[in-house]
Structure 1
Amino acid sequence: MEALYPSENGYQNNFDFSRVVLATIVVFCHSYVIYDGSLLREPLWRLSNHQLTLGTFAINFFFVISGFLISQSWDRSRSFNSYFKKRALRIYPGFIFVCLACAFLFAPLGRTAPTTIAEYWSSIDFKHLALRTLTLREPILPETYKTLPYPGSINGSLWSISYEFICYILIPVCALLGIFQQRGRVLLIFLVVLLINIVDYKAYHLGGANTPFGFSLLPQFIQAHSNKWLTLTHLLLPFVGGMCFYTYRQYVPRSIYLVALSAVVLVLTLRWFNFFEVAQSVFGAYVLFYFVFNEKVRLHHFAKYGDFSYGIYLYGWPVQQLVMLYAGHRIGVHGLFLVSMVIVMPCAAISWFLIEKPFLRLNAKPAAPSPALVAH
C-alpha cells in the first residue's frame, strides 16, 4: 500500500495553506470571545458540548504540524546550536516586534479614558515588559481596553508561543536520551502522553477532579502552576503525535478508508464520547496529513509570495480589540472578523517582509519551517 508521505516529493505539500487556514480560524474564534466576552456563542464550543473551541481545535493542529516539521528540522540540523538558532530566529523576531507594537501602538490607541498618553507611558514597567517578551509571554500593559467585553488583554493569542518553544526543547532532549535511535521509543513516548491525557481528561473534565493525573507526585513549584501543567500535557499530545507521524512517515499507509474511519471517530468523540481533543491528535492528525500530502490538492505554492500565518496569529487579537473599541457592537461578530482580517493581512505582510524573512536569511541553510501556531 502507498505510504501517506511521498518520499520523492515531500517538499510539495500543503503545509503553508493549512497554517494560514488554521491561523484564520483562530482569529474567527477570537471574534466571539472579544465581541461577547465569553464562549457562549462560539460555534465549536456549543457543538462539542463545551469540550473545545475552534481556536483550541486550530492550535492542536498547529502543534501536530509543528511536531512533524520540527522533527524534520532537527534531522536537517548540523548541531544543537544550528537547531536552536533556526528555532530562535523563527519565533523571536516576530514575537518581539508584535510586543513592541502592542506597547507603542495598540495599547496607546486602546487606553482607557481619561488616561492621558503621558500617564500611560509613565505607568509602563519596561523591565517587566522586556522580561515577559524574552520569556515569550503576553505583555501586561496598564489601562488598556478596560471598557470592552474582554477587558485588559492586549494580545491573548500569545499564550501558546511559550508552550511551543518548550516543545522545541523536547526534540534535542529526546535525542540526548537516545529516543530517536529506535522508532518504537518515539511511539512509546506518544502512548505514555496519550495515556496521561486520557486519564487527565476523564478525571479533570468529566469527573470534576481538581488536579491532573499524577499531580501529587510532582514538586510543589509545579503544583502551584496546575493550569500551566495541564495545558502543557494537553499540547504535548498533538506535538508528540506529529513527531510520531514524522518518525513513521514511510510506514503510515495512504487510505481513503482510514480517512473515513477517522472522520467517524472524530464525529463520535465530538458529539457523544467527549474525547475529541485526544482523538484529534491521532485520527485528526491522519486526516490532516492526508490532506497535506495529497498530490491531487495542488496548493504547494500557496506561500510563494510570503508565509503570513505567524503574522496573522500574532496580530489578530490586538487588531480585533482595537476594532471592537472603535466600532463597538455596530458591526456584529462576523463584521468584527471581516474588518479585522482586512487590517490583519497587511500587518502580517509587514511582519513577514520586514521582520521574519530578513532574520530567516541569517541561517546559512534554507529557511526553517514556520512554527505551528506559530503557528495560536
Structure 2
Amino acid sequence: MVTFGSRLADHKGVGPGFDAVRIGLALSVLYIHTSLLRVESPEAALAPVGPYLPLAQWAFDFAPLPMFFALSGFLVAGSAERLSIGQFVVNRGLRILPALAVEIILSALVLGPLLTVYTLGQYVSDPLFARYFLNILGSIHYELPGVFLDNPNPRIVNGSLWTVPHEIACYVLLVGAMFTGLFRRRFLVLLATLALFGVSMSIFIVGKLGIVLPYHDALTYLFVTRGAARLVPLFLAGIVLYQYRERIPYRFGYAVACIAAYVAIAAFGSPDWNANPIFSFATAPIFAYAVVYAGLSPKLVFKPLSRGDYSYGIYLYGYPLQQAMIQLMPWIDNRPAFFALSIAAASAMAIFSWHAIEKPILRLRRKFSLTARIHTGEEPAAAATLPPVQTVPAAK
C-alpha cells in the first residue's frame, strides 16, 4: 500500500509539491484580501466563489488558513523529530523572525511616512508608531498614525499578522511536547488534538445553551472565535498525519472525496460557521489530508519555484500593498484586475524578501539543520532521507 510515508521516502523526505501548494495557498489568501476593495455585504459572502463553482465565498475564505497550519504541522514535525529543543527553537526563530521584522520596519519607516495624512513629526511622535514595532515580538498592533484612514477597511496596515501569535503558540506547544516526551508518543498527541477540539466545542455548545462559565468571554475568544479552534488543532492534526504517515494511504480518490465532502458540508452552512468549532472539527481531517496529499504529489512540481520559497513574502507583504494600492489608485474597482496587480506587487516584494533576507538566513540555519541546505542548493548525501524543514505563513 502506498502511504504518505512511502511517498516521502520515494522523494528522499522532501514532498515534491509542497512549494507549489504553499504558493497556491498564499495566492488564495491574496485573492481573499481583494475584498479590501469595498465593504463586504452579507450577499457577497453567500455568492459562489466563481462561475459554475458550487462553493460559497465564505467557505472558500475559510479554507486556506486551516490548510496552512495543517501543512506547517506536517512539515515541522520532521524537524521536531530530528533536532534538539535548542536547535528547533533557533531554527524556527531564524526562519520566521528576520523576514517579519524587516516587513514591520519597512511598513513603519517607509510605507507609513509616504501614505500618512500626518506630518512626519506628528507621525513619529504618535504612540501608534512605537507600538507598531511590537508586532516583531508577536504583540499585534494594526495601526500606524494617519495611514489608510479613508480606505473601505480603514486603519488596518497588515491584517494578516493576526495569526502570528497563533503560529508562535503552535511552536510553544510543540516545544513543550518535545520537552515532556509527549511528542514521541503519537497516540497521546492524537488524544491532545481531539481534546483541544473537545474543549472548543464544549465552550461553544455551553454558550449556545445560555450557560455562562467563569471567564466565559475570554474562554470563548480564545477557544472558539480565534486560532485555538481554527488553527492550533489543525497544526496538531498535521503533526498527527506525519507521525502516522506509514499507516495513512496515499490515494487520489481519498483526496477527491475530501474536496467533495467539504463542498457538501459547506453547502448547508453560512458565514457564521467561521466561528463554529464543530465545523472546524468536521473539516480538520478533510483539510489535513487534502493539503498533505497535494504536497506529496509529483504532479505539482513547478520548476520556477526551485529558485526560492516566495510564499512567506507574499503573505507578509500582500495585505499592506493591497491597502496602499487602494489608497493610491482609488479608481480600481475590478476585482480580477486588482488581484493581478496584487500578485505583481506582492511577488516583487517576496522575491526581495527571499533573496535579500530569507535565503541568507538559511545559510545560518545550516549550523542547526542539515535540511536547510536543501533550500540553498547544497543538499548533502546525509540529508537525503530527512524531511524538509519549512515554515508556513499564517494569513488572515
Same fold? TM cut 0.5: yes
Question: Which sits farther off after the overlay, 93-102 or 366-375?
Answer: 366-375
Q: CA deviation at 1:301?
A: 4.4
Whichever residue aligns with residue 227 of structure 1, its letter is: Y
Instruction: Specify whether residues 121 and 45 from structure 1 end up closer, same or farther in structure 2 by C-alpha distance, changes over 3 A only.
Output: farther
- Aligned match for 2:235, one of 232, 235, 239: 239
Instruction: Specify whether residues 42 and 138 from structure 1 end up closer, same or farther in structure 2 by C-alpha distance, changes over 3 A only.
Output: farther
Instruction: Specify whether residues 343 and 13 from structure 1 end up closer, same or farther in structure 2 by C-alpha distance, changes over 3 A only.
Output: same
Unaligned runs of 5+ in 1: none
Distance in 1, Cα, partners of 2:43 & 2:358? 35
Is 2:129–2:144's contact at 8 Å kept on the other side of the alignment? Answer: no
Partner of 1:72: 78
Q: CA deviation at 1:256?
A: 3.4
Q: Tell me the SS of whatever aligns to 1:361.
A: helix
- Aligned match for 2:154, one of 121, 132, 151: 151
Question: Which sits farther off after the overlay, 131-140 or 20-29?
Answer: 131-140
Distance in 2, Cα, partners of 1:228 & 1:101? 30
Instruction: Specify whether residues 334 and 353 from structure 1 end up closer, same or farther in structure 2 by C-alpha distance, changes over 3 A only.
Output: same
Is 2:74–2:239's contact at 8 Å kept on the other side of the alignment? Answer: yes
Is 1:310–1:370's contact at 8 Å kept on the other side of the alignment? Answer: no
Whichever residue aligns with residue 392 of structure 2, its letter is: A
Counting only pairs closer than 5 Å after superposition, residues 1-376 of structure 1 correspond to structure 2 as 1-5=1-5, 6=7, 7-9=9-11, 10-32=13-35, 34-38=36-40, 40=42, 52=58, 54-77=60-83, 79-112=84-117, 115-124=118-127, 127-200=130-203, 207=208, 216=213, 224=218, 226-230=220-224, 231-234=226-229, 235-272=231-268, 276-295=279-298, 297-299=299-301, 301=303, 303-363=305-365, 364=367, 365=369, 366-367=371-372, 369-374=389-394, 376=396
Deviations 1:152-184 (A, max 9, x none): 011111111111011011112112333233221
Q: CA deviation at 1:302?
A: 5.1
Partner of 2:378: none
Is 1:23–1:313's contact at 8 Å kept on the other side of the alignment? Answer: yes
Q: Tell me the SS of whatever aligns to 1:369.
A: coil
Question: Which sits farther off after the overlay, 169-178 or 94-103?
Answer: 169-178
Distance in 2, Cα, partners of 1:184 & 1:355? 39
Distance in 2, Cα, partners of 1:342 & 1:210? 50
Distance in 2, Cα, partners of 1:208 & 1:269? 24
Distance in 1, Cα, partners of 2:289 & 2:364? 34
Instruction: Specify whether residues 193 and 226 from structure 1 end up closer, same or farther in structure 2 by C-alpha distance, changes over 3 A only.
Output: closer
Instruction: Specify whether residues 37 and 3 from structure 1 end up closer, same or farther in structure 2 by C-alpha distance, changes over 3 A only.
Output: same
| TM-score, with length taken from structure 2 | 0.82
Q: CA deviation at 1:190?
A: 2.0
Is 1:45–1:54's contact at 8 Å kept on the other side of the alignment? Answer: no
Distance in 1, Cα, partners of 2:211 & 2:59? 22
Whichever residue aligns with residue 247 of structure 1, its letter is: Q
Distance in 2, Cα, partners of 1:22 & 1:209? 38
Is 1:145–1:152's contact at 8 Å kept on the other side of the alignment? Answer: yes
Distance in 2, Cα, partners of 1:51 & 1:203? 29
Whichever residue aligns with residue 332 of structure 1, its letter is: N
Distance in 2, Cα, partners of 1:187 & 1:360? 32
Distance in 2, Cα, partners of 1:360 & 1:173? 25
The CA RMSD measured in Å over matched residues stands at 2.8
Is 2:70–2:287's contact at 8 Å kept on the other side of the alignment? Answer: no
Whichever residue aligns with residue 287 of structure 1, its letter is: A
Whichever residue aligns with residue 258 of structure 1, its letter is: Y
Is 1:16–1:302's contact at 8 Å kept on the other side of the alignment? Answer: no
Q: Tell me the SS of whatever aligns to 2:268.
A: helix
Partner of 2:381: none
Distance in 2, Cα, partners of 1:325 & 1:183? 50
Deviations 1:218-257 (A, max 9, x none): xx5x954742443132112211110110110111012334
Aligned residue pairs, count: 362
Instruction: Specify whether residues 93 and 41 from structure 1 end up closer, same or farther in structure 2 by C-alpha distance, changes over 3 A only.
Output: farther
Distance in 1, Cα, partners of 2:26 & 2:323? 17
Is 2:163–2:227's contact at 8 Å kept on the other side of the alignment? Answer: no
Question: Which sits farther off after the overlay, 276-285 or 243-252?
Answer: 276-285
Deviations 1:196-223 (A, max 9, x none): 344455566xx48697xxxx35xx5x95
Q: CA deviation at 1:119?
A: 2.1
Whichever residue aligns with residue 351 of structure 2, its letter is: A
Is 2:161–2:395's contact at 8 Å kept on the other side of the alignment? Answer: no
Instruction: State percent identity of aligned pairs.
Output: 26
Q: Tell me the SS of whatever aligns to 2:156.
A: coil
